[in-house]
Structure 1
Amino acid sequence: MNFAIYHQELTEMDEREQEERQREQTEQERTPSGHRQENASANVESETADPMDVDETPVEQFSGTVSAARIEAFERVFGQHMRTNRLDDISIADIETIVNNNGVGASRFSADEIMALLEKLQDDNKVMISDGKVHII
């Protein structure tokens, strides 16, 4: 039964791809050859430029205090990463990347804020900071 379903889906996909190729071919035939090269180079430029145009979420200015919600979010993401990957230590730079790329809120953690949070964890005897690395206790 799966073969019949998937085989049918594959043939429909092949038909759509073939129709798309035909449309592209007819569009190329309509345009003069000089324009085709310009359009192709314009498409390549726009394709290469788009991945670099990533909007960064703003980094909040660190005021010296951290809200309870941000402390909880940081500890959750940091702890989950350490447990999931079974790590005993991690560099501070890696921590910054992890907490800022794992959806901890609308604003990113600054380097100063991360250091303050790690120092709080160290004061609570949960981690030890040494030589740019954080060791789990």
Structure 2
Amino acid sequence: MARAGPGRREAAEARGRRAETLAALWLRAKGYRILDRRVRLTVGEIDIIARKGKLLAFIEVKARADFTIGANAVTSPSWQRINRAAASWTARREKLQACDWRFDLVVIRPMRRPLHLIDQWRPDFAPSGR
């Protein structure tokens, strides 16, 4: 397996940014309000945070040529990091603490509409107040 050089890493980063932009546009068209994107915290990262009514959706975006590969690209430890980041992000926003949470995945494939997989993962237990 060839190592990813600087050119490949930059191309992958650009693909990821484009996929996240397309996912955010798709979610907005579905009635979601985008609250934040590309959230980077010490405990984890979140691609998109969106709200629809009293629901906060923490959304991971994967750009893959094949749906199955994209749908299976996020591991349980990755979701757990996203959950920790969601808790940290939400803790700083008092008005959002009463919202319900959901963890979604958007798969972006070439020349196809995005696929929004709702409620893709659930933590083993819900923190109090959720």
* Structure in which a larger fraction of residues adopt helix: 1
* Structure in which a larger fraction of residues adopt strand: 2
Q: Under a length normalisation based on structure 1, what TM-score does the superposition of the two structures give?
A: 0.28
Q: Under a length normalisation based on structure 2, what TM-score does the superposition of the two structures give?
A: 0.29
> Which structure would you say has the larger Rg?
1
